[in-house]
């Protein structure tokens, strides 16, 4: 099994991040390229992230003989299962930008992505110089090698609407921090006729990364599996307390049992609910009025942990080079180009997402954060995040927990402790196979 020696990779990117006080057509060969020239393909995320990749590809192509073309992930492969199928069929291109931590161990174990440590002498030094030693060590496989280049982090935090809090008689400049404080605020909001919070109830495994899992990490300070990634670790007080908090939000009518939760249509972004757990990518989705009234705070923590540093989920994505790459050397050079300082600062500025670069705050300057105040808390939080467990079973683990969350938290059909015990039994069987 391809696993990291530690269950969760901590991302220490604060250092200097502590803050004081026209693109190529999709799928077409680059303009001006001769008919016989080599064209190397990159699979890029959809939407604005893909548009950004295409801008960088255009810059690369203007100065290099080997050309790249960026394509959105084909519809059939726009999921972890689809990518796995493409790897099995050996129909993958050169690169994938946006590989998930949940899937990367399986891609490596199957031989679908390159061992970067073995292929490129400067791979580890590049990651260390850009992101720090902690990040490099956190993503080493059990064999000690690096298979992914950590790309960006989007810490999950809590957006809140100051205007709606004021309407409910709450202190807008001092948002709640603990479970009891959040529940009291939700109660006041509901009494004032204001929807307190709207998180998706979709059962798909990755949705738990944006509601229960961040609060679990804040309570537990460790991942879902043990340090050796061979047993469950969530069936404990932190797991029960964090899931009970979410159960209370549904049981008391604070969190609607609906699937409204996509950033573009979320009630919070339209000024119709007071709180929303999400990452910095959500900022551009808010209406101007909501953005002007928005604040950002840490995820809820148990009452006993009211003070101290709050940990959350980092939502970290990676760049990988597929084993089917036709030109490994050119692919590696493109990775380094894509992740250089200029492109990292442009990524932060354009997409409001956080590259894993220790010099980021110095690179963009204090004026940037004065113009983008909602980003400042996320950049500070980036030094206190945990990722998913580096295990080939992570998706299965989160699927089991999502079932427990639906039964115990959303619909209250069984006690939280019972649901977590059942999930732990399932997970123990999975990871010990």
Q: What is the pLDDT of residues 238-257, one digit of tens each?
A: 999 999 999 999 999 999 88
Q: Distance between CA 326 and CA 304 in Å, rounded?
A: 55
**Positions in the chain whose pLDDT score sits under 70:** 1-37, 76-78, 259-264
Strands 8-11, 385-389: pairing kind = antiparallel
Whole-number pLDDT of residue 337: 98
Which of 395, 402, 423 is CA-nearest to residue 202? 402
Coil, helix or strand at residue 239? helix
Whole-number pLDDT of residue 68: 98
Q: Distance between CA 399 and CA 403 in Å, rounded?
A: 6
The helix (H) or strand (E) run that includes residue 343 is: helix 341-351
Q: Distance between CA 331 and CA 199 in Å, rounded?
A: 39
The helix (H) or strand (E) run that includes residue 312 is: strand 312-313
Tell me the percentage of the chain whose pLDDT exceeds 90.
79
Whole-number pLDDT of residue 261: 56
Question: Which tokens hold the place of 341?
Answer: 């300082």
Q: Distance between CA 86 and CA 305 in Å, rounded?
A: 45
Whole-number pLDDT of residue 22: 33
DSSP string covering 378-426, please? HHHHTTSEEEEE-STTHHHHHHHHHHHIIIIIIS--S-HHHHHHHHHHH
CB distance 207 to 261 below 8 Å: yes
**pTM for the whole structure:** 0.90
Instruction: Tell me the per-residue pLDDT of 392-408, one tens digit each, with 9 for 90 and over.
Output: 999 999 999 999 999 99
Whole-number pLDDT of residue 38: 77
Burial class (CB in 10 A: 0-12, 13-18, 19+), 371: exposed
Reading phi first (left if > 0) and then psi (alpha if -120 to 50, else beta), residue 70 is in: beta
The helix (H) or strand (E) run that includes residue 289 is: helix 288-293
Strands 312-313, 8-11: pairing kind = unpaired
Q: Distance between CA 229 and CA 245 in Å, rounded?
A: 26
CB distance 334 to 60 below 8 Å: yes
Beta-bridge partner residues of 95: 42, 321
Which of 319, 300, 315, 294 is CA-nearest to residue 376? 294
**What are the φ/ψ torsions at residue 18 (nearest 5 degrees)?**
-60, 125
Whole-number pLDDT of residue 84: 87
Strands 67-72, 294-297: pairing kind = unpaired
């Amino acid at each position: 099994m391809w696993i990291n020696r530690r269950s969760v990779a901590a991302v220490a990117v604060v250092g200097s991040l502590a803050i004081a006080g026209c693109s190529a057509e999709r799928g077409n060969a680059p303009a001006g390229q001769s008919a016989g020239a080599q064209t190397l393909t990159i699979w890029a995320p959809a939407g604005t992230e893909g548009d950004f990749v295409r801008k960088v590809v255009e810059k690369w192509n203007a100065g290099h003989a080997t050309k790249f073309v960026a394509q959105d992930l084909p519809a059939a492969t726009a999921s972890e299962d689809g990518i796995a199928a493409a790897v099995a069929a050996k129909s993958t291109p050169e690169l994938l930008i946006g590989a998930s931590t949940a899937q990367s161990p399986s891609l490596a174990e199957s031989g679908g992505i390159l061992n970067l440590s073995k292929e490129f002498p400067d791979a580890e030094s590049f990651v260390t110089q850009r992101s720090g030693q902690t990040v490099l060590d956190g993503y080493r496989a059990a064999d000690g090698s690096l298979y992914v280049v950590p790309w960006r982090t989007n810490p999950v935090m809590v957006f809140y609407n100051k205007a709606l809090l004021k309407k409910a008689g709450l202190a807008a400049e001092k948002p709640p921090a603990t479970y009891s404080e959040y529940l009291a605020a939700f109660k006041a909001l509901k009494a004032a006729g204001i929807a307190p919070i709207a998180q998706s109830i979709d059962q798909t495994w990755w949705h738990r990364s944006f509601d229960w899992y961040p609060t679990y990490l804040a309570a537990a300070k460790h991942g879902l599996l043990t340090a050796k990634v061979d047993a469950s670790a969530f069936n404990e007080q932190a797991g029960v307390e964090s899931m009970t908090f979410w159960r209370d939000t549904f049981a008391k009518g604070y969190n609607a049992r609906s699937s409204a939760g996509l950033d573009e249509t979320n009630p919070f972004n339209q000024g119709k609910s007071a709180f929303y757990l999400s990452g910095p990518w959500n900022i551009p989705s808010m209406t101007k009025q909501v953005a002007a009234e928005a604040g950002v705070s840490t995820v809820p923590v148990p009452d006993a942990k009211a003070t101290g540093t709050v940990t959350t989920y980092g939502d970290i994505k990676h760049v990988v080079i597929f084993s089917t790459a036709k030109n490994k050397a050119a692919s590696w050079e493109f990775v380094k180009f894509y992740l250089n300082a200029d492109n990292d600062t442009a990524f932060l500025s354009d997409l409001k997402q956080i590259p894993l670069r220790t010099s980021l705050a110095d690179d963009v300057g204090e004026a940037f954060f004065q113009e983008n105040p909602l980003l400042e808390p996320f950049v500070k939080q980036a030094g206190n995040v945990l990722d998913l467990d580096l295990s080939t079973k992570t998706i299965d683990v989160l699927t089991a927990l999502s079932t427990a969350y639906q039964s115990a938290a959303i619909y209250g059909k069984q006690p939280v402790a019972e649901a977590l015990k059942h999930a732990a039994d399932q997970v123990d069987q999975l990871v010990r196979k």
